[in-house]
Amino acid sequence: MIEKITFDGVVQGKKILILGAVHGNETAGPNALFKVIDDIQSYRINLKRGCVTFVPICNLIAYQKDVRQVDENLNRVIKHHDNPITYEQKIANEISSLIEQNDILLDLHSTHCQGDVPFVFCDYPTSDNLKLIEAIDVDYVLLGWPQIYSGHADITDYSTERYAHDCHKSGVTLECGYHKEPKATDVAYNAVLNVLKQYGMIDGISHISHCKTNIYLTEFIIKRKNGRLCQNYKHLDRILKGQKIAQYDDGEVLTASQDGYILLPNGSAEIGTEWYYLGTQNK
Ligand SMILES: [Zn+2]
């Protein structure tokens, strides 16, 4: 059973669900949510409208072990499982019920490399989701996730965002920067407060300092055998057409097919999982 806490405002309003540690080693979300919960319980923040439910730690066992997952990637199995087998499928059943009970989802994640730039995923750019993203103070929005997964029958992408969309709810995923960077907790904390302000749930106006750049995902690469990334890439590093990105131990080299960006590089990816993504500013 996942632990959650719900706060109700005096006046009716939106119902918001905010998740942390869907991936166990992504601690920025839990750190920020414990802080917001304490702010509300100590009356430093007054929830005046609507209803907010926090799940600071979705994947508890992975969080306790400081690993991404126990049996499988929780953010690829978010739906109802009639006969849940893995640990993550059992959690997915609880999370999908919570998503159904709320109007808006904010899912807080973080990324693998020191210096990673925060960004928000907008898998479904509906007007409701764009309103939600408006409140989040990051420089980059990543689009096109469902499209790059649609051609891969062997990999499912049942994410929290997808489940929210399938249930006609708003939902976005915020990647707050590198897991262990204290700044990532600040990004998560500010985003939570700004989102609550955006829907009139707490006092204040969300202050956003800059315009966002849209990056369109073009493909992802599954690590098929032993190998390594050719550089110590960070998320959103620029790459050039023909640039060597990765090399397998048997000598096979993977290159970029166009100018653009490397996204979410995971130097310690397991074989059979996503190694890195590529994207461009051009739609
Ligand atoms: Zn994550």
Helix ranges restricted to H, 116-181: 127-134, 145-149, 160-166
Distance 216 CA to ligand 1 centre (A): 19
Give the per-residue pLDDT at 1.
Answer: 82
Cα 89 to the chain's mean position, in Å? 18
| Distance from the alpha carbon of residue 101 to the mean position of ligand 1, in angstroms | 23
pLDDT tens digit sequence for 159-180: 999 999 999 999 999 999 998 8
Positions of the chain with pLDDT lower than 70, given as ranges: 209
**Residue 174 Cα, ligand 1 centroid: separation in angstroms?**
9
CA 105 – ligand 1 centroid, Å:
15
Distance 92 CA to ligand 1 centre (A): 14
* The two domains 5-198 and 216-280 share their CATH topology (first three levels equal): no
Question: How would you list the strands of the sheet with 274-280, edge to edge?
Answer: 5-8, 49-55, 11-20, 104-111, 170-178, 119-122, 140-143, 213-222, 274-280, 260-263, 237-239
Mean pLDDT of the chain: 94
Confidence (pLDDT) at 51? 97
pLDDT at 205: 77
CATH architecture of the domain covering 216-280:
Beta Barrel (2.40)
Of all residues in the chain, what percent carry a pLDDT higher than 70? 99
Q: Which residues pair with 278 in a beta bridge?
A: 219, 262
Q: Distance between CA atoms of 94 and 189, rounded to whole angstroms?
A: 24
CATH 3.40.630.10 fits 5-198, yes or no: yes
Q: 269, 275 in Cβ contact below 8 A?
A: yes
**Residue type at 84 in one-letter notation:** P
> What ranges do the domains of the chain cover?
5-198, 216-280
Predicted pLDDT of residue 36: 98
Q: What is the pLDDT of residue 209?
A: 67
